[in-house]
Amino acid sequence: MAKIGVFICHCGENIGAKIDCNKLAATIGEHPGVAVSVEYKYFCADPGQESIKKAIRDNNLTGVVVAACSPRMHEATFRKACAEAGLNPYMCEIANIREHCSWVHTDPDMATEKAADITRSMIEKVKRNNKLQPIEVPVTRRALVIGGGIAGIQAALDIANAGQEVVLVEREPSLGGHMAQLSETFPTLDCSQCIMTPRMVEAAQHPKIRLLTYAEVVSVDGYIGNFHVKVKMKARYVDMESCTGCGDCITKCPQKKISSEFDCGIGKRTAIYTPFAQSVPNKPVIDKATCTYFKNGKCKVCMRSCQINAINFDMQDEFIELEIGAIVVATGFQVQNNAVYGEYGYGKYPDVITGLQFERLASASGPTFGKILRPSDGKEPKTIVFIQCAGSRDPSKGVRYCSKICCMYTAKHAMLYAHKVHEGKSHIFYMDIRAAGKGYDEFTRRAIEEDEASYVRGRVSKVWPKMSKLMVRGVDTLLGKPVLIAADMVVLATAMVPQPDAKEFAKTIGIAYDEYGFFNEAHLKLRPVESSTAGIFLAGTCQSPKDIPDSVSQASASASKVLALFSKQTLEREPVVASNNEATCAGCWGCVLACPYNAIEKKDILDRSGKLIKRVASVNPGLCQGCGTCVTFCRSNSLDLAGFTEKQIFAEVMGL
């Protein structure tokens, strides 16, 4: 006889203000099989959990339904509490009366009625729940870090320094990411190269880190602790073993006018190239799309200039397979294409540039060796207009979110400009100054007070050329007057957006993403570095716009999650897996075709003399992920899915 305990949570006022919990508890108390039906303000809090445990012990409950928030929020909490009271945790179910009821409905009576239906349906389900035991699976102690920017490098180093193996995959020819492109970093103004390149070298030389540059992850199969990852090693056409990185080939290459991706189009590179002088590894690749030999079938100047014959035009893409226990995704961001703002003339007027291009101009290793010069005529600009929120916080043309770093880097740009061009004048159009962070507000104040950046609160409506100047028309909303500035250069604080292929990539590795393409965390507040998929963690700007300190913190947090996972020989998995009734299985193999994980094998059933009686399907619980596609496919109803059995679901429907 079922003895079900129902615990109705008010969640403060979140549920209690809309749903009549008192009435709900009384109604549910009359439902057959319900032994306890009580309400309380916060069941997730310690006293609440204790009261559930006490009720289980006092009444010998056979099942528990907690009518509260989404199971995605606290299912684990309440299942653990049940286990502590001696009840099998899988005998606990959650009735979601917050996200699916109290928060979304206006009529209290209808909401209460719906809450009762939801709760009854879960009671009927839990009556048919089975006691399940978690499945133990081994853990491969090797982490994969995808992305070799600051976040990826930090995560890789933290994991490797703890003694675990790491494979670091970067799709560009060099480590470094966006941080390597920066000039100086706020709020300390230390040179990005000076703090970044030693970390790059450390990562490359670490005995526990296997570095794969110019490589892309093409598929991820398996599950937490046991991922199978396929990586494409793009053909470099340069033998990594023998190349010494002398650079002779780069100086001889006849293609010298290719727009450099690293310099954001301001500098030029050759067809055989390293992205920047401090590249790690400092060995070039041949860009097939621009190389004369690949285009015309002749040239091979680099091959002749190479004294150790490291160049091989016959090289092919290679694929390597890796066994991985945990994955850190640190794939970073891109800057938005500012061509969406026709009125600012980006792409049309060469002296309208993005913040990242300004970084390259201000960088000592950049195309102008740190001199701020106009891309059009190479002259030093005497007046610069900075336009903040060029894309951010603009639902009509850009993105709705705040890119978080632009207020800070624009203040930094104004400072760097003041330090390099003493008589220069900078005007900054802003919506708000968002300088929350350690030393950040002080930094923007310094830009205004010491480096005399003139902040104008308002938007720019148009930029147009006049003689050699750029005329900038905007508004000063504090004075309530239009403003017209004759500038030599305009810098747009461009929005940070996800990588263009972020959504595709998320599908490849099986994690969730938001409407923009940033990867979703498991819980915004409580599980910010875990993805929606167990064993895959997030670091840096692939999750949301972030500055360097935040990216590094998140990377270290991800690394600690990985290390916690690697601290055990085996890990426990949810026992939501399919099983087969071999007595009724007809061996049609429909399930074998349906299974996305090849978790169903054919098994011979023999008689005592070893003669084959029949062949049946058999589910490997280590591989089964519990989708249940096979169960629905099964013609003889032999397969069933633990936790979501046919009986449970029918009962749930009948309980509504």
Partner 1 sequence: MNELFEPEIVAFVCTYCTYAGADLAGTSRLKYAPNVRIVRLPCTGRISPMFILKALQKGADGILISGCHPGDCHFTHGNYHARRRWMVFRALLEFTGIPSERVKYSWISAAEGGKFADLMNSITEDIRKLGPFDQYKALIKETEAPATF
627 binds partner 1 (CB under 8 A): yes
Name the strand (E) or helix (H) holding 64.
Answer: strand 63-68
Tell whether residue 71 is a contact of partner 1 (CB under 8 A).
yes
Q: Which of 72, 400, 462, 614 binds partner 1 (CB under 8 A)?
A: 72
Residue 453: strand, helix, or coil: coil
Distance between the two ends of the chain, CA-based, in angstroms? 21
Choosing from 239, 394, 451, 646, the residue that interacts with partner 1 (CB under 8 A) is 646
Question: Which member of 114, 360, 374, 427 binds partner 1 (CB under 8 A)?
Answer: 114
Site for partner 1 in 556-585 (CB under 8 A): 576
**Residue 319 within binding range of partner 1, rule CB under 8 A:** no
Binding flag, residue 98, partner 1 (CB under 8 A): yes
Distances in Å between the Cα of 428 and the Cα atoms of 287, 334, 360, 454 are 39, 23, 20, 6
Candidate segments 340-348, 384-392, 490-498, 637-645, binder of partner 1 by CB under 8 A:
637-645
As given in the structure block, the two tokens for residue 63 are 């099942």
Contacts of 368 (CB under 8 A, 6+ apart): 266, 361
Are 469 and 488 in contact, with CB atoms under 8 Å apart?
yes
Closer residue to partner 1 in complex, CB, 99/582: 99
**Angle at 458 (CA atoms; ends 455, 462), nearest 5 degrees:** 110
Cα 55 vs. chain centroid, distance in angstroms? 41
User: What sign has the CA pseudo-torsion 591, 594, 599, 601?
Assistant: positive
Instruction: Pick one of 117, 239, 380, 582: the residue that binds partner 1 (CB under 8 A).
Output: 117
Q: Does 512 bind partner 1 (CB under 8 A)?
A: yes
Among 270, 403, 520, 543, binds partner 1 (CB under 8 A): 520
Report in angstroms how near the CB of residue 581 gets to partner 1 at its nearest.
Answer: 16
Binding status of residue 527 toward partner 1 by CB under 8 A = no
For the chain, how are helix, strand and coil distributed in percent, rounded to 5? 30, 30, 40
Could you tell me which of 545, 507, 626, 137 has the C-alpha nearest to residue 554? 545
Q: List, in sequence order, the alpha helices (H) in 308-431.
A: 355-362, 406-420
Near partner 1 by CB under 8 A: residue from 110, 240, 320, 478: 110
Under rule CB under 8 A, residue 100 binds partner 1: yes
Pairing of strands 4-9, 209-213: unpaired
Q: Which is nearer to partner 1, 34 or 111 (CB)?
A: 111
Q: Which stretch binds partner 1 (CB under 8 A): 205-213, 340-348, 363-371, 591-599?
A: 591-599
Q: Segment contacting partner 1 (CB under 8 A): 67-75, 225-233, 244-252, 559-567?
A: 67-75
Contact window for partner 1 (CB under 8 A) among 100-108, 136-144, 148-156, 240-248: 100-108
Contact call for residue 105 and partner 1 (CB under 8 A) = yes
| Closer of 198 and 596 to partner 1 (Cβ) | 596
Three-class SS state of 507 = helix
| Contact track, partner 1, 9-48, x by CB under 8 A | ----------------------------------------
Residue 342 exposure: Cα atoms within 13 Å on the Cβ side: 0
| CA separation, residue 230 to residues 233, 375, 525 (Å) | 10, 42, 32
**Interacting residues toward partner 1 by CB under 8 A:** 70-72, 96, 98-101, 103-107, 110-111, 113-114, 117-118, 121, 507, 510, 512-515, 520, 532-533, 576, 594, 596-597, 625-629, 631-633, 641, 643-644, 646, 649-654, 656
